[in-house]
């Protein structure tokens, strides 16, 4: 723990640090700046979306010792935008006197699926049956109940990368080889009804706030649609998921914004899938449909300020915008989507991430489509989807 002087919050006008320069960092910068903070971003990419809007962009690797010392010298507190920030970098920042929110211990647990599964089990939160896989012998001896299953690389997997569905030991052995023989988790496939996620924030003082759970649909392993029905925000499933997510945050002694993804099984059981120690794509709906967004919560938690109201202002459907939308069929040349027609739909709120180049599969932005109720939000979302040529799965 490095929470020195936590009784005094960091006030507007001061500096906050961000490790990571992607779209989540960019939206953090906007939220921090609206509250009067200045932001320094550490990211090696000269075209970093967050670096483009921050007051200072330190262009260096995440583990660069001089850059970390510079960041700690500027900022009283530092947060992160992705789960694979080296835990050693957070330890180095703490050694230089910067408050790290979240801290190295929490990040180290959730960036390794083997540690994460064990932590969830110890915390009393149900997970799918699983077994750590560090060599082929572990696959040979794995229980029959883990097949069919999914083999997941223990580290550096996201958006469906580093994951292979397997129906037999032979397929699992081949998948382990294809993944480079690195440590993995073999997880049983369960009868899934749908997926949800919960975003919450926990402050330095242990205070917590929880957003209504989002119902999610994925395409090719990437989140495509998140929906939140304001009228169902206090339903049994949402409440149970929120309580489980809080249990996880408390056990981690977490400070900051955190997302927990859950499977809802056909028999109604909740199974924790994974933890993201940062704001989450499925929480982007909060930017327009909540009193305080997940990014403002991250600013507040990082600065040690009181957390904000997570109440819903409207029902909402969030549509993820990938770079594929910039290309027609098999065209090689990108063209700009019809944003004017998107913005002509009532309740449509467009957020683009300032990325210099559209590429297929690259997250370029999102649209939050609001309605007085879920039926209206979905009807409007279908209009937006039709303009963009998007299939609407939720």
User: Domain check: are 355 and 375 in the same one?
Assistant: yes
pLDDT at 234 (0 to 100): 72
Is residue 180 domain-shared with residue 318, that is, in the same domain?
no
pTM to 2 decimal places: 0.94
106 within some domain: no
**Residue 76 labeled ligand binder:** no
Instruction: Specify the residue for token string 């065209």.
Output: 331
177 is in an annotated binding site: no
Query: What is the rounded CA–CA span in Å between residue 359 and residue 266?
Result: 36
Residues 91 and 151 in one domain: no
Query: Is 66 in the same domain as 202?
Result: no
The verdict on residue 158 lying in a domain is yes
Is 280 annotated as belonging to a binding site?
no
Does 390 appear as a known binding residue?
Answer: no
Residue 157 labelled as part of a binding site: yes
- What single DSSP character describes residue 319? E
- Is residue 170 marked as binding? no
State yes or no: 24 annotated in a binding site: no
Domain assignment present for 4: no
Domain that holds residue 264: 192-388
Say how far residue 119 (Cα) sits from the centre of its chain.
19
Block mean pLDDT (10 aa), the chain, length 394:
62 98 98 98 97 98 98 98 92 97 95 95 96 96 95 78 91 94 96 96 97 94 94 84 96 97 95 96 98 98 98 97 90 89 98 94 97 97 96 64
Residue 148 domain-assigned (yes or no): yes
How far apart, in whole angstroms, are the C-alpha atoms of residue 370 and residue 27?
Answer: 19
Nearest residue to 202 via CA among 108, 288, 278: 278
Residue 38 marked as a ligand binder: no
Residue 28 in any domain: the answer is yes
Together in a domain, 178 and 196: no
Residues 141 and 242 in one domain: no
Domain end marker among 188, 209, 239: 188
pLDDT of the residue at 2: 44
134 in Cβ contact with 183 (< 8 Å):
yes
**Do both 164 and 301 map to the same domain?**
no
Q: What angle do CA 349, 354, 356 make, to 5 degrees?
A: 140
75: CATH = 3.40.50.20
The answer to whether 190 is a known ligand-binding residue is yes
Residue 187 assigned to a binding site: yes
Measured CA to CA, the distance from residue 374 to residue 226 in angstroms comes to 12
Looking at the domain assignment, is residue 123 inside a domain?
A: no
Find the Cα–Cα–Cα–Cα dihedral 329, 331, 333, 336, rounded to 10°. -20
Q: What is the CATH number of the domain that holds 169?
A: 3.30.1490.20
Burial (Cβ within 10 Å: 0-12, 13-18, ≥19) of residue 66: exposed
Model pLDDT, residue 157: 64
Known binding residue 283? Answer is: no
Q: Is 218 annotated as a binding residue?
A: yes
* pLDDT recorded at residue 147: 96
336 and 241 within one domain: yes
Is residue 109 in some structural domain?
A: no
pLDDT for the residue numbered 233: 74
Is 219 marked as a binding-site residue?
A: no
Q: Is 270 annotated as a binding residue?
A: no
- Helix, strand, or coil (residue 189): coil
- Both tokens assigned to 244: 């489980």
Q: Are residues 294 and 245 in the same domain?
A: yes
Does the annotation flag 363 for ligand binding? no
Asked if residue 188 belongs to a known ligand binding site, the reply is yes
Classify residue 312 by its DSSP letter: B
Rounded Cα distance between 88 and 244, Å, is 28
Residue 393 within a domain = no
Q: What is the domain count for the chain?
A: 3
Q: Say if residue 174 carries a ligand binding annotation.
A: no
pLDDT of residue 156: 75
Residue 69: Cβ-neighbour burial (10 angstroms; 0-12, 13-18, 19+): middle
């Amino acid at each position: 723990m490095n929470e020195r002087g936590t009784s005094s919050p960091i006030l507007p006008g001061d500096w906050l640090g961000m490790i990571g320069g992607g779209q989540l960092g960019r939206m953090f910068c906007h939220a921090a700046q609206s509250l009067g903070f200045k932001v320094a971003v550490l990211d090696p990419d000269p075209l970093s979306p967050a670096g483009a809007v921050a007051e200072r962009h330190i262009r260096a690797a995440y583990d660069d010792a001089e850059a970390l010392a510079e960041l700690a010298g500027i900022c009283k507190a530092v947060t992160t935008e992705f789960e694979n920030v080296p835990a050693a970098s957070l330890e180095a920042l703490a050694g230089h006197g910067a408050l790290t929110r979240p801290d190295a211990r929490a990040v180290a647990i959730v960036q390794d699926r083997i540690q994460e599964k064990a932590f969830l089990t110890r915390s009393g939160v149900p997970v799918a049956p699983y077994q750590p896989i560090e060599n082929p012998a572990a696959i040979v001896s794995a229980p029959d109940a883990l097949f069919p299953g999914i083999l997941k690389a223990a580290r550096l997997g996201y958006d469906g990368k580093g994951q292979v569905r397997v129906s037999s030991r032979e397929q699992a052995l081949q998948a382990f080889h294809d993944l480079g023989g690195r440590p993995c988790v073999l997880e049983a496939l369960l009868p899934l009804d749908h997926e949800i996620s919960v975003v919450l924030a926990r402050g330095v003082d242990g205070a917590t706030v929880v957003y209504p759970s989002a119902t999610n649909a994925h395409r090719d392993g990437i989140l495509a649609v998140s929906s939140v029905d304001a009228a169902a925000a206090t339903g049994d499933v949402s409440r149970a998921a929120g309580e489980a997510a809080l249990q996880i945050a408390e056990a981690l002694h977490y400070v900051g914004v955190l997302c927990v993804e859950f499977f809802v099984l056909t028999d109604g059981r909740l199974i924790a899938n994974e933890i993201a120690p940062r704001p989450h794509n499925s929480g982007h709906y909060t930017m327009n449909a909540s009193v305080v967004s997940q990014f403002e919560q991250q600013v507040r938690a990082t600065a040690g300020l009181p957390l904000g109201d997570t109440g819903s202002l409207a029902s909402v459907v969030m549509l993820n915008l990938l770079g594929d939308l910039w290309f027609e069929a098999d065209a090689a040349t990108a063209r700009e989507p019809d944003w004017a027609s998107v913005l002509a739909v009532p309740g449509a709120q467009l957020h683009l991430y300032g990325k210099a180049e559209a590429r297929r599969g690259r997250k370029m932005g999102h649209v939050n489509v609001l309605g007085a109720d879920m039926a209206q939000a979905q009807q409007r979302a279908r209009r937006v989807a039709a303009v963009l040529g998007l299939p609407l799965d939720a």
